[in-house]
Structure 1
């Protein structure tokens, strides 16, 4: 498979034209072929058109009960998927899309974990993904938790979620998944959001 650029963003809502524009600019600036978006905050079947250069396909999983949660996968023309099958969570927590990308069978998964009980959620969600997946599996998303509190967090408070962190790490290990960013940047202390 040819090299493709992946990007994952928690946007905390995409319900304004300004946020649509900022997202499109970031996709273009990063030259993202596939973009995983968390917290779209679209309700029900809503799928607003995001206008980014070369964007060809968009897949969505929205929470039907309110404007919260929600995930999307955006694919540009270079990495366009064919023969797709989609599994969307009605709770807006995950989205799986499988198909052919540049001649290779792939499964794309976008996962947005709740802010509690992440370990149990991960185990359940990854089991569903394993039953659905074919070919190379690529996951983007937000576990709502860091895997290594000592390097991935700026807070120096006691690690109160150690048990959930262990469950999450065990679920990832059981499915032979790894954090490719952390592997390629083992000592970097870089955060997308700092409190």
Structure 2
């Protein structure tokens, strides 16, 4: 799972790696920002049943089967502002879509230590509880 792929819709490159021939992308429609991808190995015989993508390239959900078992793969790249609101809304959509075993990748887009990891020295994380 990759976040911040920064491809525009219609400009997704073809990956040349034989080990990952099946690629699913969700890109921003007009700008080179955001973007997520789920790359599936040749060793994983995943049969896609359904997908959900975000119009702004922030999340991608895949539902399908592996060896007859139902799985949902979800990749989320959280916005850098209003993270709690975005995450709450996105997780509600994922809850409605998800079936079987959930495999989740997330870039929360927040610094672990705001003093060291942000240019402002503080975090913009809301104190809202999910």
What TM-score do you get using the length of structure 1 for normalisation? 0.59
Q: Structure 1 pair 158/56, CA: closer, same or farther in 2 (3 Å)?
A: closer
Q: Say what the alpha-carbon RMSD is for the aligned residues.
A: 2.0
Tell me which residue corresponds to 1:77: 42
Q: Is the CA contact (8 Å cut-off) linking 2:70 and 2:100 kept in structure 1?
A: yes
Q: Structure 1 pair 160/84, CA: closer, same or farther in 2 (3 Å)?
A: same
- Aligned with 1:66 (options 31, 36, 46): 31
Question: Cα deviations across residues 9-65 of structure 1 (Å, max 9, x unaligned)?
Answer: xxxxxxxxxxxxxxxxxxxxxxxxxxx111111111333111224113111111002
- Aligned with 1:134 (options 89, 99, 102): 99
Tell me which residue corresponds to 1:143: 108
Q: Going by fraction, where is helix more abundant, 1 or 2? A: 1
1:99 corresponds to 2:60 = no
Q: Structure 2: state its 5+ residue gaps.
A: none
Larger RCO, structures 1/2 (Cα 8 Å, 6+ apart)? 2
SS, match of residue 115 in structure 2 = coil
SS, match of residue 55 in structure 1 = coil
Q: Is the CA contact (8 Å cut-off) linking 1:112 and 1:142 kept in structure 2?
A: yes
Q: Is the CA contact (8 Å cut-off) linking 2:27 and 2:57 kept in structure 1?
A: yes
1:41 corresponds to 2:6 = yes
Question: What is the CA–CA distance in structure 2 between the aligned matches of 1:47 and 1:83, rounded to whole Å?
Answer: 20
Q: Going by fraction, where is strand more abundant, 1 or 2? A: 2
Question: What is the CA–CA distance in structure 2 between the aligned matches of 1:56 and 1:107, rounded to whole Å?
Answer: 19
What TM-score do you get using the length of structure 2 for normalisation? 0.86
- Aligned with 2:55 (options 90, 96, 112): 90
Question: What is the CA–CA distance in structure 2 between the aligned matches of 1:142 and 1:105, rounded to whole Å?
Answer: 24
Map 1:115-130 to 2 at 5 A.
115-130=80-95
Q: Is the CA contact (8 Å cut-off) linking 2:48 and 2:62 kept in structure 1?
A: no
1:90 is displaced (CA, Å) by: 1.2
Q: Is the CA contact (8 Å cut-off) linking 2:20 and 2:42 kept in structure 1?
A: yes
Count of matched residue positions in the alignment of Structure 1 and Structure 2: 127
